[in-house]
Chain A
Amino acid sequence: MENNLLSILIWLPILAGVLILGTGGDSRAPLARKLALGFSIGIFVLSIPLYTGFDSSTAAMQFVEKASWITSFNIWYSLGVDGISMPLILLTTALTVIVIIAGWQVITERVAQYMAAFLIMEGIMIGVFASLDAVLFYVFWEAMLIPMFLIIGIWGGPNRIYATIKFFLYTLLGSLLMLVAFLYLYNKSAGSFSILDYHDLKLGLKPQILIFFAFFAAFAVKVPMFPVHTWLPDAHVEAPTGGSVILAAIMLKMGGYGFIRFNMPITPDASHELAWLMATLSLIAVVYIALVALVQTDMKKLIAYSSISHMGFVTLGLFVFNSQGVEGAMMQMISHGFISGALFLCVGVLYDRLHSREIKSYGGVATPMPIFAAFFVLFAMANSGLPGTSGFVGEFLVIMGAFASNPWYAIIAALTLIFGAAYTLWMVKRVIYGKVEHDNVATLEDVNSREIIMLAILAAMVLVVGIWPNPILDVMHTTVDNLLQHTAISKLP
């Protein structure tokens, strides 16, 4: 089992999804729910050996599997993880359990399809993180869109069609350019689709810059970076809670992961050349998007903009080219997975009760829902980057790394301390605190045990990672150092 663990982690959720689809109509919804929960927990448990069995002393790929797939084009079914993809896979398996719990009572129509969609998506997302072959990567990358498209399109809000099409076109347009880049690299490397081969390929500056932008188109949309971010707020607003959680917690991370796996090592000279651009766009995200978040009246939109702002730290950290920056970016991705997931769940909890996401529909929620309020304030503080929560770790490391690269980057990035707290706490003030203004708020029921479980798991993660991030950082060091050494060497022919 050790040597095909990754295959199991990819295909077991997909098979489980198919099996759950087989349970049929909503008359058998309880079975579908239980199966989905059982499988997601089982898959999470199965994924733990990835961490415990991981050798953090090497930067080489681990848990590798390789089988020929389409021999005529030299395409391989090639899998493996390093210190960057492994934590992201664990994040995926952990959060899938959470979204299954989140959809437990809320989803009452097409339950089997809903649960199946999330499990299938889990497998595909793990496939994206584990692929070492460009074609395999591309297949998973595109396949990932389908379940998400369905989740928003079927269980989404009233304006879901506009949102799904915007989401789909935005991401598709980007990934087509990535495909072009793969074909170019295939030719340049004399017929290889191995991503690791591309890392050692000599390329002139001009082709590097073109390839950089081709990949940029795919990954910047996913992150999302300014100015290709406008699909995200729409998608979030229309998506059901579970969809928002996976979107924010995992799918956005694919963008950051892509920059680490493709742009930086394949086009190192272009990356250095364009680092100013990446940093500028990232800083625009941190400041400009934070200001936009401040004026949102819809809680989900606010958190969506907050996500974009926080992801600015990921792209900034990557393109300052030092360990603190890159490791900070990784920590930010992981932490953002917990925090944005938790915040979307919190909005979901409120939405399930009052069917409104408008801030002004609430106010004084702490009075009828004290336990919920405690969770909400905790996650809000984590979102504001409070030390002791995971939200601090990534931002802190990125600011430290950015300062060494260019103090002005750090100065602008550190403004998030003010703006991030401003939009988050102002929302807390208007939603959680204050007098109860609306009658339906006064009769809100506090979170039930199912909701407490999912929020408590995330709260524990947020605190544990904040108090002791070292176990996660430990597995990254060698990979990150190797990546930085690699990008420091020019690949100009």
Chain B
Amino acid sequence: MKTIYLAIPLVCLFGAIVAGLFGKKIGRTGAHTVTIGGVAIAFLLSLVVYNDVRNGNTFNGALYNWAVSGGVTMQIGFLIDQLSATMMVIVTFVSLMVHIYTIGYMHEDPGYQRFFSYISLFTFAMLMLVMSNNFLQLFFGWEAVGLVSYLLIGFWYEKDTAIFANMKAFLVNRVGDFGFLLGIAAVLYLFNSLDYATVFAAAESHSEATVTSPFGEWSWITVICLLLFVGAMGKSAQVPLHVWLPDSMEGPTPISALIHAATMVTAGIFLVARMSPLFELSETALSFVLVTGATTAFFMALIGLVQNDIKRVVAYSTLSQLGYMTVALGVSAYEVAIFHLGTHAFFKALLFLGAGSVIIAMHHEQDMRKMGGLRALMPITYATMFIGSLALAGIPPFAGFFSKDAIIESVHFSGLWGAGYAYIAVLLGVFLTAFYSFRLLFMTFHGNNRADEHTRLHLDESPKVVTWPLILLAIPSICAGFIFFGPVINGSYFGEAILVKPEHDVVAALANVYQGKEGFGLFLAAVGHGIFAWPFWLAIGGIVFAWYCYCKNLALPGKIAAAFGPLTRIVENKYGIDQLYQKLFAGGSLVLGKFFHRYADAGLIDGVLVNGSAKTVGFISRSIRGVQTGRTFDYAFAMIFGVVVLISVFVWGV
């Protein structure tokens, strides 16, 4: 099996290298054949591994020693268990769909081969991240996916907004990684190892260790968890490090689906789930995670209401859904978080690719105010996006219903500090989610076509390489929720991979609700339970309200926006966070840099000390040089003067 584990990332890397270095020689067909072939093999092998793991064969072993220093062996190796196998299947499946879709989406682009090379490289990096058995390799994969994200957001490197967005994404992620790296340093300091198994085994025995800081006495485990979570906040775009994700929409749509919705941005969720043995030891850290997630879930959903760019609506919805997953992590429902990660990967990739299909048809127009009435012209795109929106809104029996309902119920059962706030946030979020999802759907596909004459004439359904991935993603968006609901909540799915303390085990409480039911009985019970609960009616309310606003009474949204004038502006300005960062951090660094350069480096050190001492030496030597006139008379006079002085000294003993 070890060969198979190794082959999975390496086939993707191979495809990336071939398409990247020899793209010109092998041509477009060659490039997409080799990369799609690689990812397809990776997907099939991931299924083999997944099946093997379901049969109980987990693996934890090293490939090679990356470095040995100070008695610590830092390795590159794999940990294959229920968690990583699940992630591998999700990553390779979505990646495969996106690869195929790209043939259609990018077919006119001169950077075709480069694009395929990047997305295969991304798949490699993401696989290394999820398959890692240690903190170091996790960080490797972590930064490598960040690199590819940087390259892909800036894929159209002549576009100013794109190359601003990619730098912003990289730097904001680096702020997160700053915390992450210090977290790794703290792990190494406390446990003297970077190996998951070693660290997790020793975690309990170090739970009493504390560190004294200017901010009081802290448990080391809390410090470690908070630092690692800062990394997760960067990658998974949690408030206040969320600013890069909406801007990342400047990249081509396939990567928005793959990287900025389905896989990379969920790395932070994966990280916390993987670290469950550490987070379980710190309720402070869990509360912090919970409150951060709830804030992201609600406040980002609000921004989603006022966006008119089709991709940005989906982007804010991604932010909000990542908030839901983080909330689940905060209440120790790690399994549920990964469950939602999985269903979300399918329906969000579907929505993004659907949006991309619309964008192709609209000749790269992304403003929904110029769309409308596409339903009849693009039936497959419409149908699949409708399914995706139902799943996102959490309508039973679609996939999102099961995972989101499980999150909300988990929060309900939690007694952690902040759970009350989170419960309200996620409930209100349900209404907002349903509203903006269907706002998108109604504005794009219903009503009158508001496109210009030229675009309208050419409007057509997208080609098969585009629609087939939509259909293939629609299938799990419908059924993945139900299939995995049972195993996830009864705890059998993740087995040993996730550790939860009994007093935090909200999922067990959730399982009690459905005690003894399985199969179709469980399905009926869950759906029955769902439609008599608040979230379902909030979602229905959101959909109906969206229908009323965007199909019936089209003037209403404007009136509401005007009525809430100042509030609307705050939300439209994204709470002013972007401007604040731009002024404070980007501007501040430049001012400081200029100040240091002008006054400290050039002014003080060079001006005063270096050139100053040179000038002083010059001044003294010039003064002394005056004495050396070269005239005998002057020297003779000086000698006589000297002799007189000396004699005086001897005679009077001065």
Among candidates B64, B175, B189, residue contacting A468 with C-beta atoms closer than 8 Å: B64
User: Which residues of B in the span 57-99 have a Cβ within 8 Å of any Cβ on A?
Assistant: 64-72
Which of A36-44, A137-145, A421-429 lies at the interface with chain B?
A: A421-429
A324 touches B171 (CB 8 A): no
Which of A268-276, A349-357, A400-408 lies at the interface with chain B?
A: A400-408
Bound-state Cα–Cα, A190 to B158, Å: 69
B65 touches A470 (CB 8 A): yes
Q: Closest Cβ of chain A: how far from B619's Cβ, in Å?
A: 16
B144 touches A388 (CB 8 A): yes
B185 touches A403 (CB 8 A): yes
In the complex, A474 has a CB within 8 A of chain B: yes
Interface string of B169-212 (1 = CB under 8 A from A): 01100110110011011101100000000000000000000010
A227 touches B157 (CB 8 A): no
In the complex, A155 has a CB within 8 A of chain B: no
Q: Closest Cβ of chain B: how far from A483's Cβ, in Å?
A: 13
Most buried by B among A227, A324, A418, A468: A418
Kindly list chain A residues whose C-beta atoms are within 8 Å of the C-beta of B157. Answer: 366, 432-434
Binding site for A on B (CB under 8 A): 64-72, 139-140, 142-144, 147, 150-151, 154, 157-158, 160, 163-164, 167, 170-171, 174-175, 177-178, 181-182, 184-186, 188-189, 211, 589-590, 592-594, 596-597, 600-601, 605-606, 609-610, 614
B170 touches A470 (CB 8 A): no
A435 touches B158 (CB 8 A): yes
Kindly list chain A residues whose C-beta atoms are within 8 Å of the C-beta of B186. Answer: 403, 407
User: Which residues of A in the span 325-367 have a Cβ within 8 Å of any Cβ on B?
Assistant: 327-328, 364, 366-367
In the complex, A393 has a CB within 8 A of chain B: yes
Kindly list chain B residues whose C-beta atoms are within 8 Å of the C-beta of A419. Answer: 589
Kindly list chain B residues whose C-beta atoms are within 8 Å of the C-beta of A328. Answer: 69
User: Which residues of A in the span 388-403 have a Cβ within 8 Å of any Cβ on B?
Assistant: 388, 392-393, 396-397, 399-401, 403
Q: A403-B186, A417-B177 are in contact. Are A469 and B154 (CB under 8 A)?
A: no
Most buried by B among A294, A328, A392, A404: A294
Q: What would be 20 A-B contacts, judged by CB atoms less than 8 Å apart?
A: A166-B610, A294-B589, A327-B69, A366-B157, A377-B151, A386-B144, A387-B140, A399-B182, A399-B185, A410-B185, A414-B178, A414-B181, A415-B178, A421-B170, A421-B171, A426-B167, A429-B167, A435-B158, A470-B66, A470-B67
Bound-state Cα–Cα, A433 to B158, Å: 6
Q: Closest Cβ of chain B: how far from A436's Cβ, in Å?
A: 8
Kindly list chain B residues whose C-beta atoms are within 8 Å of the C-beta of A407. Answer: 182, 185-186, 189, 211
Q: Which residue of A lies closest to B609 (CB)?
A: A227
B174 touches A230 (CB 8 A): no
In the complex, A295 has a CB within 8 A of chain B: yes
In the complex, A168 has a CB within 8 A of chain B: no
A473 touches B67 (CB 8 A): yes
B68 touches A421 (CB 8 A): no
B69 touches A403 (CB 8 A): no
In the complex, A381 has a CB within 8 A of chain B: yes
User: Which residues of A in the span 421-467 have a Cβ within 8 Å of any Cβ on B?
Assistant: 421-422, 425-426, 429, 432-436, 467
A388 touches B140 (CB 8 A): yes
Bound-state Cα–Cα, A417 to B181, Å: 9
Q: Closest Cβ of chain B: how far from A30's Cβ, in Å?
A: 32
Q: A291-B593, A294-B590, A418-B178 are in contact. Are A425 and B170 (CB under 8 A)?
A: yes
Q: Closest Cβ of chain B: how far from A472's Cβ, in Å?
A: 9
Bound-state Cα–Cα, A421 to B167, Å: 9
A364 touches B158 (CB 8 A): yes
A434 touches B140 (CB 8 A): no
Q: Which residue of A lies closest to B137 (CB)?
A: A387
Count CB-based A-B contacts (< 8 Å).
140
Kindly list chain B residues whose C-beta atoms are within 8 Å of the C-beta of A176. Answer: none
- Size band of the A side of the interface? 35 or more
Kindly list chain A residues whose C-beta atoms are within 8 Å of the C-beta of B610. Answer: 166, 170, 230-231
Q: Closest Cβ of chain A: how far from B291's Cβ, in Å?
A: 24
Q: Closest Cβ of chain A: how far from B412's Cβ, in Å?
A: 38
Most buried by A among B163, B175, B189, B606: B163
B597 touches A474 (CB 8 A): no
B66 touches A322 (CB 8 A): no
User: Which residues of A in the span 253-290 have a Cβ within 8 Å of any Cβ on B?
Assistant: 288
B171 touches A418 (CB 8 A): yes
Bound-state Cα–Cα, A404 to B191, Å: 12
Among candidates A295, A393, A396, A425, residue contacting B167 with C-beta atoms closer than 8 Å: A425
A403 touches B182 (CB 8 A): yes
Q: A328-B69, A477-B68 are in contact. Are A387 and B143 (CB under 8 A)?
A: yes
Q: A401-B70, A473-B69 are in contact. Are A295 and B182 (CB under 8 A)?
A: no
Q: Closest Cβ of chain B: how far from A280's Cβ, in Å?
A: 15
B69 touches A421 (CB 8 A): no
In the complex, A161 has a CB within 8 A of chain B: no
Q: Closest Cβ of chain A: how far from B148's Cβ, in Å?
A: 11
Q: Which residue of B lies closest to A397 (CB)?
A: B69
Bound-state Cα–Cα, A421 to B65, Å: 28
A295 touches B590 (CB 8 A): yes
Bound-state Cα–Cα, A392 to B141, Å: 13
In the complex, A292 has a CB within 8 A of chain B: yes
In the complex, A78 has a CB within 8 A of chain B: no
Kindly list chain A residues whose C-beta atoms are within 8 Å of the C-beta of B64. Answer: 468, 470
In the complex, A306 has a CB within 8 A of chain B: no
Kindly list chain B residues whose C-beta atoms are within 8 Å of the C-beta of A386. Answer: 143-144, 147
B69 touches A324 (CB 8 A): yes
Q: Which residue of A lies closest to B192 (CB)?
A: A404
Q: A170-B610, A400-B188, A425-B171 are in contact. List 6 more A-B contacts (CB 8 A).
A: A288-B596, A291-B589, A292-B596, A388-B140, A407-B189, A417-B181
Q: Closest Cβ of chain A: how far from B170's Cβ, in Å?
A: 6
B597 touches A295 (CB 8 A): yes
Bound-state Cα–Cα, A474 to B67, Å: 8
B174 touches A421 (CB 8 A): yes
Kindly list chain A residues whose C-beta atoms are within 8 Å of the C-beta of B142. Answer: 387
Kindly list chain B residues whose C-beta atoms are within 8 Å of the C-beta of A421. Answer: 170-171, 174
Among candidates A296, A327, A422, A433, residue contacting B163 with C-beta atoms closer than 8 Å: A433
Q: Closest Cβ of chain A: how far from B157's Cβ, in Å?
A: 4
Kindly list chain B residues whose C-beta atoms are within 8 Å of the C-beta of A388. Answer: 140, 143-144
A417 touches B68 (CB 8 A): no
